[in-house]
Amino acid sequence: MKIILASASSRRQELLNRLIEDFKIIVSDFDENSVEFKGDCGSYVMELAEGKALDVCNKVKEEAIVIGCDTIVSYKDTILGKPQDEKEAFNMLKLLSGNIHQVYSGIAVVNNSSGKIIREFVCTDVKFDKLSDMQIEKYIEKGEYADKAGAYGIQGYGGIFVEEIHGCYYNVVGLPLNKLSKMLKEMGVNL
């Protein structure tokens, strides 16, 4: 059976390749704004992940296992999405400076022939060093903040801001491998 990743993220593609060598990528057109945040980050990211997976299921004719994923950063019950510009990125990083925030990833694994859906989420606590305005500005100049929830990537230069994490590192990158491997096995995929 084909495995399909419903994501354009090169980070997710690279991580999934550690579990599965042969998979297809079909980018989801799911409207993330159609999901309302009701205060529960875990439920929210699972709903987003499922929406992406089901959107791709509707595009596929052959039998397949479709993996949908979404990652958000949360600080004091506020979701920090992908910054729209440098100013928003600066404000996000200033907010995270010296504080602990949470990174949530939702995963939905869907068998499009049986209709079976498995949804899970992972949460990791991340503590940032106290950052100076100059450090934040230097980071923003590198452009790495773009297309990253919370305006940073732990796997890149942004990793120097991270003092400690409690939980899954790969979750912070965008695809919690341990959780996903268990979900795929539960779906009958031999890894």
Question: Which pLDDT score, from 0 to 100, does residue 92 have?
Answer: 96
Alpha-carbon separation of residue 76 from 93, 100, 105 (angstroms): 14, 9, 17
Identify the band that residue 77 occupies on the pLDDT scale cut at 50, 70 and 90. confident
CA–CA distance, 32 with 45 (Å, rounded to integer): 10
Identify the band that residue 75 occupies on the pLDDT scale cut at 50, 70 and 90. very high
Q: How many helices (H) and strands (E) does the chain have?
A: 6, 7
Question: Which pLDDT score, from 0 to 100, does residue 19 have?
Answer: 92
- Work out the angle at residue 15's Cα, subtended by the Cα atoms of residues 77 and 100, and round it to the nearest 5 degrees: 25
Average pLDDT (122-140) is 97
Question: Which pLDDT score, from 0 to 100, does residue 25 have?
Answer: 96
Question: Which pLDDT score, from 0 to 100, does residue 1 have?
Answer: 84
Tokens of 184: 């795929």
pLDDT at 67 over 90: yes
Question: Which pLDDT score, from 0 to 100, does residue 171 have?
Answer: 96
Average pLDDT (67-72) is 96
Q: Which residue has the higher pLDDT, 64 or 190?
A: 64
DSSP 8-state assignment for residue 183:
H
Number of residues assigned to the chain: 191
Residue ranges with strand state E in 84-185: 100-111, 117-128, 162-166
Average pLDDT (108-134) is 97
- Average model confidence (pLDDT) across the chain: 95
State percent of the chain over pLDDT 70: 100
Q: What residues are annotated to the active site?
A: 70
Identify the band that residue 81 occupies on the pLDDT scale cut at 50, 70 and 90. confident
Domain ranges of the chain: 2-186
CA–CA distance, 156 with 174 (Å, rounded to integer): 13
Identify the band that residue 17 occupies on the pLDDT scale cut at 50, 70 and 90. very high
Question: Which pLDDT score, from 0 to 100, does residue 190 have?
Answer: 85
Instruction: Write down the architecture of domain 2-186 according to CATH.
Output: Alpha-Beta Complex (3.90)
